[in-house]
């Protein structure tokens, strides 16, 4: 029986271009995982979408004097372009502006209300007396009560990183008029996280398979005690509150964004023409759901969303939340940064091929600690590892078969022990790399594949088929056929990381169907198969001309 797996990926705000750090933090790992699971023949659905609500969007819209929707549409298109060009294989990438999402969010709201987990409370909020409106988080600035930074935002201080409540700011001022806000009471709904603390603690206590940092952070927050959180705001952009008397308020963005995982799965099911198909991914307890996010998002996915799901009842809780640390940018990147190279994903893809970028980013995925992006390391990884260890291996072997065997895979009488050992290593890589992919250790998975490529290079050097073709054709045939079978195996093992070039290689090896349809297993190439003409899978990056690009 294939496993059923739901891959949920963080919802980016649709008001900026995607940064390399975000892609390495959540989207690339999610895609590698989904591709691996599909290769295994598992039943996978991967969803996400553009977070279209929230004050980051309205602040950007106000600045340009346009409707929020204009901002969302513009950046949603740019985000879709990144997925297309980088090969991020979503089953659905939608937005939170759909009717389906509004209905799903309001249903969630009403169910929690009915169960007494949402309660109205009156509290004082900041109000701009000149603009005559309330000032949600990012509409107010002031001095940070923690570090004294003069331009802290209402929701967070960018200097010390503290999460703030707007009423805590010292000398607050409205970002709309500059006026000093006054306190005015306003009624809002609160999610009673305090009522769900005990079941949450019990559930988190059983998640021994989570990453250490995710588990520790979550347990730390739970031990400090959970405060009830307001889930509505005095704003006009967002999902309407489905309760009379709340017409001037909206559901706050963090509450509706996490529901996006559910609404997107429903939308995917509708688009499949099977509207109930979402239930298999949310109601069957055997389905495993993975949430790929950055570490700043941990509490929303290990506490708040699970609390909402427990309150709703009947829907699966997260199985794993493999949150990543951050990718930092070195001081040496400053020059490229000014041009945007190396920081914005689309700029990087203008300069380098998708697989070159994916290969390098996989090698620096911040799985256990922060990592560093360096453009010169990307170039080195392309030239000295991707090409030197892997691309040249495939190219050399296919070329020699064309040159010496008319491009026809030679048959082999018997295998020497070193040939058998190399094939055994390639077969074993399906298990070892597979275990690493399945555990979301993608850097290790890549190393498992590269280790076999290194062994194949050594095998070729030791047996020197370019010499043997002149003296012992059977020896050369054995070497090249063995190496070719190992290349065919590594094509599959590395496919989740470098899908574009391995798909081309699959064609060059004259294999039927696709890498995906061939599946996750060792499959020797039949003797007599006529290989396609060889083509280089990767381009060497000229470091001199690249320096000219970045400088």
Identify which range of 84-92, 144-152, 226-234, 407-415 contacts Zn ion by CB under 5 A: 144-152
Q: Which is nearer to Zn ion, 67 or 160 (CB)?
A: 160
Q: Can you read off the two tokens belonging to residue 492?
A: 């599959």
Question: Shortest Cβ distance from residue 296 to Zn ion (Å)?
Answer: 16
**Residue 157 sits in the site that holds Zn ion (CB under 5 A):** yes
Based on the shown chain and the rule CB under 5 A, indicate whether residue 422 belongs to the binding site for Zn ion: no
From the CB of 230, what's the least distance to Zn ion, in Å?
22
| Nearer residue to Zn ion within complex by CB, 61 or 157 | 157
Q: How far apart are CA 550 and CA 542, in angstroms?
A: 13
Least distance to Zn ion, CB of residue 162, Å: 5
Give the residue with the Cβ less far from Zn ion, 170 or 198: 170
Query: Which residues are within 8 A (CB) of 209 and not within 5 positions of it... i.e. 6 or more apart?
Result: 320
Close Cβ partners of 199 (under 8 Å, ≥ 6 residues apart): 310
Q: What angle do CA 243, 120, 58 make, to 5 degrees?
A: 70
Taking the least distance from each CB to Zn ion, the nearer of 145 and 242 is 145
Work out the angle between the directed axes of helices 68-86 and 55-64 (0-180°, nearest 10).
Answer: 110
By three-state DSSP, how is residue 327 classified? strand
Question: Closest distance between Zn ion and the C-beta of residue 163, in Å?
Answer: 10
Between the CA of residue 184 and those of 135, 156, 169, what are the distances in Å?
Answer: 11, 21, 16
Is residue 67 within the footprint of Zn ion (CB under 5 A)?
no
Distance CA 246, CA 261 (A): 26
Size of interface with Zn ion, in residues (CB under 5 A): 7
**149: contact with Zn ion by CB under 5 A:** yes
Q: Which of 146, 176, 510, 525 binds Zn ion (CB under 5 A)?
A: 146
From 55-63, 154-162, 237-245, 373-381, span contacting Zn ion (CB under 5 A): 154-162
Which DSSP helix (H) or strand (E) runs through 46? strand 43-50
Considering only residues 348 through 367, tell me which ones interact with Zn ion, judged by CB under 5 A: none
Residues within window 32-61 making contact with Zn ion, judged by CB under 5 A: none
Closest to Zn ion by CB, 173 vs 396, is: 173
Q: Give the residue with the Cβ less far from Zn ion, 21 or 142.
A: 142
Question: In the complex, what is the shortest distance from the CB of residue 12 to Zn ion, in angstroms, rounded to a whole number?
Answer: 25
User: Considering beta carbons, is residue 159 or 270 the nearer one to Zn ion?
Assistant: 159
Least Cα distance to 125 among 82, 75, 169, 162 occurs for 169
Residue (148 or 205) nearer to Zn ion, CB: 148
CB 511 within 8 A of CB 481: no
Distance spanning both ends of the chain, measured CA to CA: 54
**Part of the chain binding Zn ion (CB under 5 A), chosen from 71-79, 143-151, 320-328, 432-440:** 143-151
H/E segment holding residue 230: strand 229-230
Among 39, 126, 144, 498, indicate the residue that binds Zn ion (CB under 5 A): 144
202 contact partners, CB below 8 Å, separation of at least 6: none
Q: Which of 70, 147, 183, 198 binds Zn ion (CB under 5 A)?
A: 147
> What are the angstrom distances between the C-alpha of 411 and each of 148, 518, 527?
76, 22, 5
Q: Are 11 and 90 in contact (CB under 8 A)?
A: no
Q: DSSP class of residue 528?
A: T
Rounded CA gap, 282 and 262, in Å? 8
Q: Is position 160 an interface residue for Zn ion (rule: CB under 5 A)?
A: yes
In whole angstroms, the minimum distance from the beta carbon of 138 to Zn ion comes to 15
**Residues 6 or more apart from 309 whose CB is under 8 A from it?**
315, 316, 317
Structure tokens at 204: 């988190």
Stretch that binds Zn ion, among 141-149, 182-190, 230-238, 336-344 (CB under 5 A): 141-149
If one asks whether residue 164 binds Zn ion (CB under 5 A), the answer comes out as no
**Binding Zn ion by CB under 5 A: which of 98, 143, 159, 399?**
159
User: Based on CB atoms, which residue is closest to Zn ion, 144 or 456?
Assistant: 144
Closer residue to Zn ion, CB minimum distance, 29 or 154: 154
Residues of the shown chain interacting with Zn ion in the complex, contacts defined by CB under 5 A: 144, 146-147, 149, 157, 159-160
């Amino acid at each position: 029986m294939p496993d059923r797996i739901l891959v949920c990926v963080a919802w980016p705000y649709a008001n900026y271009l995607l940064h390399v750090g975000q892609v390495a933090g959540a989207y690339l790992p999610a895609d590698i995982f989904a591709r691996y699971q599909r290769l295994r023949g598992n039943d996978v659905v991967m969803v996400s979408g553009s977070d279209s609500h929230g004050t980051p969007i309205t602040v950007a819209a106000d600045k340009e004097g346009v409707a929020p929707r204009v901002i969302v549409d513009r950046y949603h298109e740019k985000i879709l372009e990144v997925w297309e060009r980088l090969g991020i294989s979503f089953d659905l990438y939608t937005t939170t502006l759909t009717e389906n999402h509004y209905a799903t969010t309001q249903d969630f709201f009403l169910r929690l209300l009915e169960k007494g987990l949402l309660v109205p409370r009156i509290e004082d909020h900041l109000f701009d007396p000149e603009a005559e409106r309330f000032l949600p988080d990012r509409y107010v600035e002031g001095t940070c009560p923690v570090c004294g930074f003069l331009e802290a935002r209402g929701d967070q201080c960018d200097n010390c990183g503290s999460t703030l409540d707007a009423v805590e700011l010292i000398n607050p001022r409205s970002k709309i008029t500059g006026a000093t806000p006054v306190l005015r009471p306003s009624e809002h709904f609160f999610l009673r996280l305090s009522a769900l603390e005990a079941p949450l603690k019990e559930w988190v206590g059983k998640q021994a398979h989570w990453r250490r940092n995710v588990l520790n952070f979550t347990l730390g927050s739970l031990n400090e005690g959970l405060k009830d959180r307001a889930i509505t705001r005095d704003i006009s952009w967002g999902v309407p509150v489905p309760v009379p008397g709340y017409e001037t308020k909206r559901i706050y963005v963090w509450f509706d964004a996490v529901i996006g995982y559910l609404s997107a799965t429903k939308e995917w099911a509708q688009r499949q023409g099977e509207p109930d198909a979402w239930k298999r991914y949310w109601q069957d307890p055997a389905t495993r759901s993975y949430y790929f996010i950055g570490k700043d998002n941990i509490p929303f996915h290990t506490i708040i969303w699970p609390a909402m799901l427990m309150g709703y009842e009947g829907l699966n809780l997260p199985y794993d939340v493999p949150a990543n640390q951050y990718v930092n940018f070195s001081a040496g990147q400053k020059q490229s940064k000014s041009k945007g190279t190396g920081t914005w994903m689309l700029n990087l893809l203008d300069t380098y091929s998708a697989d070159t970028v994916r290969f390098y980013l996989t090698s620096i995925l911040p799985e256990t600690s922060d990592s560093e992006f360096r453009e010169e390391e990307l170039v080195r990884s392309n030239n000295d590892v991707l090409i030197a260890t892997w691309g040249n291996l495939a190219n050399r072997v296919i070329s020699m078969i064309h040159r010496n065997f008319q491009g026809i895979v030679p048959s082999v009488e018997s295998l020497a022990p070193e040939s058998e050992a190399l094939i055994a290593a390639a077969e074993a890589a399906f298990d070892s790399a597979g275990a690493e992919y399945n555990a979301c250790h993608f850097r290790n998975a890549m190393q498992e594949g590269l280790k076999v490529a290194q062994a194949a290079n050594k095998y070729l050097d030791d047996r020197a088929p370019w010499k043997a073709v002149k003296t012992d054709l059977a020896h050369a045939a054995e070497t090249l056929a063995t190496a070719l079978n190992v290349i065919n195996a590594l094509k599959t093992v590395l496919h989740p990381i470098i899908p574009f070039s391995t798909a081309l290689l699959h064609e060059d090896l004259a294999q039927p169907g696709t890498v995906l349809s061939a599946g996750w297993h060792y499959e020797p190439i039949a003797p007599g198969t006529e290989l396609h003409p060889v083509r280089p899978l990767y381009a060497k990056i000229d470091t001199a001309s690249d320096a000219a690009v970045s400088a």
